[in-house]
């Protein structure tokens, strides 16, 4: 039984979401609560499967699954290794805590009749990302990317303001452009090699990196995925999407969607192309480091001027995605591990911060920073969690934010990319500025006489508890960082050592 479970675990991680997405609206016809518990059980099972996969591949090596028994390049292959199993665990964990958090917030922000459909689309959204991570077929990656994107557009539009529709439409247009670029790049690669399997692609592309077809394919893929990641200056869809979507979706998206797009770029650049290959005189490593540095600083600078908390966190997320890219682009074990750690660390920090923002919205029906005056006294526990998360975002020692930045700086020193060090230091200073402004408003300013701060509205325990778990982990993994660091370092060794140009 255990052997059967292990052998089919990669496909079960996807099937469970398909089953849940189909079941949730049916159960919702009976009772709305049943659709919620369907989503809860589905995400919980997914998390268990993801952790099981991570432990299995860590101890025994990569696990392959051939759909229908058809081996590649003729069939679709699902492949689990340390890199994607680690991110699978992150995505499934964030999705589980988000749905627990949503037990309270969804009731306040989503109309009763729309909740069963919401849970169904939410499961499709998470299931699509899980598919992107587990598949070893590049066209299958595109299919799952479209599933995730279409579900994301619908989830954003479920916000209760008219701006939600605008944000969803903007994401639809720009997301479709990014997906089209990605698909065009896949088409060029298939035209050159006649295969879609990543392992087979890496072998057949050897000796063809200088051809115009491959260079154009790489350009389309990089631009398309960077648009999906909201890398500056291709970030225009993200601020509105995070600001005007329901609180639970802001939290879930901030911790998952851009991280999965980053995984896609990392996987393709290392597995197929070889990020340091330098074919046709193009240094992709240097280009990505430069773009990432600009993204880090631009996101941080723009965040300072924001007047809405969720919008500030959205621009902060744009800057933080640069950390992931800059770490993985330096082709250094410690820097790569730092970038991979930041996927976990930023997922925890930013998901929790959006959960806190949702808590403020639950009480005030607003996330304007100016309306948060005195909330440190009215909501002391929630405000204290925001303070701890802010310190972690800055990179204070004994928090997870410090760990990933430390590894990236260490890798930059070893690889000679010294320009990265002042970029990270300056970004940390800017982060302290825009979070410090909110902390000052929460704890040191008197509330205005609107009376909203005195409303007898308390956050549900589901919202407080799920947020508190993430805050605790931000400290726990900041003190006991050896477990995620060991996994990240092993993933870095496996990925860098297996590059096609080695």
Q: What is the rounded average pLDDT of the residues 309-335? A: 90
Which of the two residues, 145 and 448, has the higher pLDDT score? 145
Q: Are 84 and 27 in contact (CB under 8 A)?
A: no
What does DSSP assign to residue 272?
A: I
What rounded mean pLDDT belongs to the chain? 87
Does residue 47 have a pLDDT over 50? yes
231: left (phi over 0), alpha (psi -120 to 50) or beta: beta
Half-sphere exposure of 485 (CA within 13 A, CB side): 18
Residue 446 banded pLDDT, cuts 50, 70, 90: confident
Global pTM reads 0.90
Owner of token pair 């991979």? 340
* Per-residue pLDDT at 501: 36
Q: Count CB-CB contacts under 10 A for residue 285.
A: 20
Cα 310 from Cα 322, distance rounded (Å): 19
Cα 133 from Cα 85, distance rounded (Å): 8
Q: What is the rounded average pLDDT of the residues 87-110? A: 88
Partnered with residue 77 across adjacent β-strands are: 66
Contacts 24+ apart (CB under 8 A), 357-361: 357/247, 357/250, 357/309, 357/310, 357/313, 358/101, 358/105, 358/247, 358/248, 358/250, 358/251, 358/463, 359/459, 359/463, 359/464, 359/467, 360/309, 361/247
* Per-residue pLDDT at 500: 43
Owner of token pair 């002042």? 422
* Per-residue pLDDT at 502: 36
Inter-CA distances, 154 with 91, 351, 424, Å:
19, 20, 35
What does DSSP assign to residue 79?
A: E
Q: Please give the torsion angle defined by the CA atoms of residues 334, 339, 340 and 344, in that order, rounded to the nearest 10 degrees.
A: 130
Q: What is the rounded average pLDDT of the residues 49-74? A: 85
Cα 205 from Cα 285, distance rounded (Å): 19
Taking only the tens place, the pLDDT of each residue in 453-484 is 555 567 778 888 999 999 999 999 999 988 88
Cα 385 from Cα 427, distance rounded (Å): 22
SS3 sequence, 170-238? HHHHHHHHHHHHHHHHHHHHHHHHCCCEHHHHHHHCCCCCCCHHHHHHHHHHHHHHHHHHCCCCCCCHH
Report the percentage of the chain scoring pLDDT > 70: 94
Cα 83 from Cα 140, distance rounded (Å): 18
Does residue 435 have a pLDDT over 50? yes
Q: Are 473 and 349 in contact (CB under 8 A)?
A: no
Taking only the tens place, the pLDDT of each residue in 243-290 is 888 888 999 999 898 999 999 999 888 888 766 554 555 677 788 889
Q: What is the rounded average pLDDT of the residues 37-49? A: 92
Q: What is the rounded average pLDDT of the residues 63-81? A: 83
Q: Count CB-CB contacts under 10 A for residue 112.
A: 9
Does residue 444 have a pLDDT over 90? no
Q: Are 63 and 53 in contact (CB under 8 A)?
A: yes
Q: Are 478 and 398 in contact (CB under 8 A)?
A: yes
Does residue 451 have a pLDDT over 70? no
Nearest to 451 by CA among 374, 381, 382: 374
Token pair, residue 249, equals: 């979706």
* Per-residue pLDDT at 281: 56
* Per-residue pLDDT at 87: 93
């Amino acid at each position: 039984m255990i052997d059967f479970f292990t052998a089919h675990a990669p496909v079960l991680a996807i099937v469970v979401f398909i089953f849940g997405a189909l079941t949730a609206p049916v159960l919702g016809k009976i009772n709305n609560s049943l659709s919620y518990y369907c989503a809860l059980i589905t995400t919980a099972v997914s998390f268990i499967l993801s952790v099981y996969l991570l432990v299995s591949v860590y101890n025994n090596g990569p696990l392959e699954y051939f759909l229908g028994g058809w081996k590649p390049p003729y069939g679709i292959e699902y492949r689990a290794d340390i890199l994607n199993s680690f991110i699978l665990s992150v995505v499934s964990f964030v999705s589980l805590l988000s749905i627990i958090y949503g037990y309270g917030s969804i009731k306040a922000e989503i109309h009763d009749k729309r909740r069963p459909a919401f849970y169904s689309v939410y499961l499709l959204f998470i299931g699509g990302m899980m598919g992107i991570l587990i598949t070893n077929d590049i066209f299958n990656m595109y299919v799952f990317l479209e599933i995730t994107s279409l579900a994301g557009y619908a989830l954003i539009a479920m916000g209760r303001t008219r701006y939600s529709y605008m944000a969803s439409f903007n994401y639809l247009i720009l997301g479709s452009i990014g997906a089209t670029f990605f698909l065009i790049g896949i088409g060029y690669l298939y035209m050159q090699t006649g295969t879609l399997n990543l392992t087979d692609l890496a072998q057949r592309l050897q000796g063809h990196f200088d051809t115009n077809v491959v260079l154009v394919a790489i350009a389309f893929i990089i631009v398309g995925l960077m648009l999906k990641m909201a890398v500056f200056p291709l970030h225009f869809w993200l601020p509105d999407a995070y600001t005007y979507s329901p609180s639970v979706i802001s939290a879930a998206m901030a911790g998952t969607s851009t991280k999965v797009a980053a995984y896609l770029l990392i996987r393709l650049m290392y597995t197929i192309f070889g990020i340091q290959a330098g074919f046709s005189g193009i240094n992709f490593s240097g280009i990505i480091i430069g773009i990432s540095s600009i993204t880090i600083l631009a996101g941080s600078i723009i965040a300072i001027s924001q007047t809405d908390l969720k919008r500030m966190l959205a621009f902060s997320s744009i800057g933080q995605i640069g950390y992931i890219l800059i770490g993985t682009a330096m082709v250094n074990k410690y820097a790569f591990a730092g970038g991979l750690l930041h996927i976990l660390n930023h997922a925890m920090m930013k998901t929790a911060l959006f959960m806190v923002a949702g808590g403020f919205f639950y009480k005030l029906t607003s996330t304007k920073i100016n309306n948060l005056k005195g909330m440190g006294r009215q909501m002391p526990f929630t405000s204290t969690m925001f303070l701890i998360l802010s310190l972690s975002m800055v990179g204070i020692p004994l928090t997870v934010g410090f760990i990933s930045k430390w590894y990236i700086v260490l890798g930059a020193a070893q690889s000679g990319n010294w320009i990265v060090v002042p970029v990270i230091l300056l970004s940390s200073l800017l982060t302290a500025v825009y979070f410090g402004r909110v902390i000052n408003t929460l704890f040191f300013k008197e509330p205005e006489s609107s009376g909203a701060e005195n409303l007898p509205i308390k956050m549900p325990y589901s919202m407080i508890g799920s947020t508190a778990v993430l805050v605790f982990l931000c400290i726990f993994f900041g003190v006991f960082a050896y477990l995620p660091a060991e996994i990240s370092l092993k993933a870095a060794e496996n990925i860098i050592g297996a590059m096609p140009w080695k």
